[in-house]
Amino acid sequence: MQSTPLRYLRADFDDLEEYAPVKPLDVLAAEIGVPIDRLVKLDANENLYGPLPEIRAAIEQADLHIYPDPGQAALREAIAGYAGVAPEQVVAGTGADELIDIVLRLTMPDAVVNVTPTFGMYQFLAQVNRSRVIEVPRDGGFAPDIEGIARAVEDGARVVFLTSPNNPTGNALTPEQVDALCQLDALIVVDEAYIEFGGRTATGKLAKFGNLVILRTFSKWAALAGLRVGYALCHPDLALRMMAIKQPYNVNIAADVAARAAIEHRGQIQEMVRSIVAERDRMARLLAQTGWLRPLPSEANFVLFEVLGRSALDVRDGLRRQGVLVRYYNRPDLHNYIRISAGRPEDTDRLVAALHHLEPA
C-alpha cells in the first residue's frame, strides 16, 4: 500500500487559516453569468483606470529574456527618489506581501501583534512562519488601541503590524500614534499601501526610529496590481539583511521597468489618483443618500459602509447578481459592513443603479 505524502507535512498545517483572495474577472464572470465587460469590480481596491500607455510601452521594450538585477540598483534608486530616502534604505519585493514574509523570516518572532480588523495577510503569514498572533482589537471608531498594543509587546510580541490608512476601515495613523508605537520594544511595521490617496506618511520618522519599517506598493496608485511590485523603507542595516534573505530575482523585469516608468510619469498618475479620490467622496455622498448605508471617513481608495436595517450579506449578493462586486466580511468586528472600492464615474453610476434595483428592506 502506497503511503500518503501528507505525513511529511508540518504538524500544524491543518491549523493554518487560509487567506481568502479575490477571484479574477474571468472566473467571476463565469460564476455570475455576466460578461466580463459588464462586471463592475469594486471588491479589491484596484485602480480601474489601468496603467498608463507609457508604462505598457516600457514593458514591451524590456529585455524579458535576461534575469533581473538581484541588487535592484536602478529600482531602489528610483524608489528612493520618489519616497525621499536613501537607496540603501529600500528593499523591493513581489508586492508588499513578500516583504511582510521577509520581515517575519528575518525576525522569527515568537509573537506578533495584529490590530484587527485589518489586512488579512499579517495573520496568515505570521501563522505560516509559526508566530503566535496576539490580536488587539480596535475601538468602536476603529482607532488602534495603543495601550493594548503596548501590553501585547510586554507579553512577548516583537513585531507589530498596522496599515495606514487601514484596510478596510480607511483611517490613518496620526504622527503621535506612530511616535508612541515606535517607542515600544518591537519592530513597528506600518503598511502604507494606500498612502497616495490621502494618508499621512511616516517616512519622516525613519531617521529617528530604527525600529520602524514602512511598506508600500505600486498596486493601488499606479495600477500595477497584476505585476506584484512593492517596497520596504527602513534602516539601512535592516535593509541590508532583508536583501540578503530575499529571493535573488524576486522582482521580475516587467515589474521593475513598470515601477520605474510609473515613478517617471508620476505626475500623470497623480492626476488619476485625484480623480479616484474625488470619486471616492462622490460615492460616499451618493450612497449615504440611501439612508441605509453609512460611510466611514476614508483616506484610502475605498469606503467602508455600515449597512443599516438590512443584511450586508444580502446587499453583497444582490449587487453580485447584477454584476457589481463589493467586499463583504463575515466576522464579528465587521458585522453588517461592506467595503466598496472607488472606481471611475461610470462604475459609481452602475453601483448606484444596482442599489436602486435591490429589494426593499
pLDDT tens sequence across 113-128? 999 999 999 999 999 9
Is residue 316 domain-shared with residue 350, that is, in the same domain?
yes
Q: Is the pLDDT of residue 82 over 70?
A: yes
Is residue 167 domain-shared with residue 40, that is, in the same domain?
no
Is residue 125 domain-shared with residue 204, that is, in the same domain?
yes
Task: Quick: pLDDT tens for 128-137.
Answer: 999 999 999 9
Is residue 252 domain-shared with residue 283, that is, in the same domain?
no
Is residue 124 domain-shared with residue 242, that is, in the same domain?
yes
Distance of CA 264 to the CA centre of its chain: 23
Q: Which of 27-31, 50-54, 137-141, 150-154 comes out lowest in average pLDDT?
A: 27-31
Peptide bond between residue 165 and the one before it cis (omega within 30 degrees of 0): yes
Which has more pLDDT, 13 or 210? 210
Q: Which helix (H) or strand (E) holds 236?
A: helix 236-245
In a domain, 313, yes or no: yes
> What is the predicted pLDDT for the residue at 3?
76
| pLDDT bucket at 361, cuts 50 / 70 / 90 | low
Is residue 214 domain-shared with residue 65, that is, in the same domain?
yes
> What is the predicted pLDDT for the residue at 262?
98
Mean pLDDT of the chain: 95
| pLDDT bucket at 22, cuts 50 / 70 / 90 | confident
Taking the C-alpha atoms of residue 223 and residue 301, their distance in angstroms, rounded to an integer, is: 12
> What is the predicted pLDDT for the residue at 300?
98
Exposure letters 147-181 (e unless 16+ CB within 10 A, then b): ebbbebbeeebbbbbbbbbbbbbbbbbeeebbebb
In a domain, 276, yes or no: yes
Is residue 81 domain-shared with residue 190, that is, in the same domain?
yes
In the numeric block, which cell numbers belong to residue 179? 511616535
Helices (H) and strands (E) in the chain, counts: 12, 13
CATH number for position 326? 3.90.1150.10
CATH number for position 80? 3.40.640.10
In the numeric block, which cell numbers belong to residue 278? 474625488
Helices 253-264 and 73-83 cross at an angle (nearest 10°) of 30
| Domain ranges, residue 82 | 53-265
In a domain, 58, yes or no: yes
Domains contained in the chain, number: 2
Is residue 58 domain-shared with residue 189, that is, in the same domain?
yes
Q: Is the pLDDT of residue 14 over 90?
A: no
Is residue 25 domain-shared with residue 160, that is, in the same domain?
no
Taking the C-alpha atoms of residue 222 and residue 172, their distance in angstroms, rounded to an integer, is: 20
Choose one of 265, 297, 322: the last residue of a domain: 265
Task: Quick: pLDDT tens for 140-195.
Answer: 999 999 999 999 999 999 999 999 999 999 999 999 999 999 999 999 999 999 99
Task: Quick: pLDDT tens for 228-273.
Answer: 999 999 999 999 999 999 999 999 999 999 999 999 999 999 999 9
Segment 210-233 mean pLDDT: 98
Task: Please give the share of the chain, as a percent, with pLDDT higher than 70.
Answer: 99
Cα 231 to Cα 17, 97, 214, distances in angstroms: 26, 10, 8
Is residue 69 domain-shared with residue 202, that is, in the same domain?
yes
Q: Is the pLDDT of residue 139 over 60?
A: yes
Taking the C-alpha atoms of residue 90 and residue 101, their distance in angstroms, rounded to an integer, is: 16
Segment 353-358 mean pLDDT: 95
Choose one of 222, 242, 265: the last residue of a domain: 265
In a domain, 221, yes or no: yes
> What is the predicted pLDDT for the residue at 23?
81
Q: Which helix (H) or strand (E) holds 261?
A: helix 253-264
> What is the predicted pLDDT for the residue at 28?
87
Choose one of 219, 243, 265: the last residue of a domain: 265
**Three-state DSSP class for 86?**
coil
> What is the predicted pLDDT for the residue at 340?
98
Q: Which stretches of 33-186 are assigned E, i.e. beta strand?
A: 40-41, 90-93, 111-114, 132-135, 157-163
Q: Which residues fall within 8 angstroms of residue 195, CB to CB, at 6 or more apart?
A: 164, 165, 201, 216
Is residue 188 domain-shared with residue 329, that is, in the same domain?
no
Q: Is the pLDDT of residue 2 over 80?
A: no
Q: Is the pLDDT of residue 1 over 60?
A: no
> What is the predicted pLDDT for the residue at 24?
83
In a domain, 351, yes or no: yes
In a domain, 361, yes or no: no
Is residue 207 domain-shared with residue 278, that is, in the same domain?
no
Task: Please give the share of the chain, as a percent, with pLDDT higher than 90.
Answer: 88
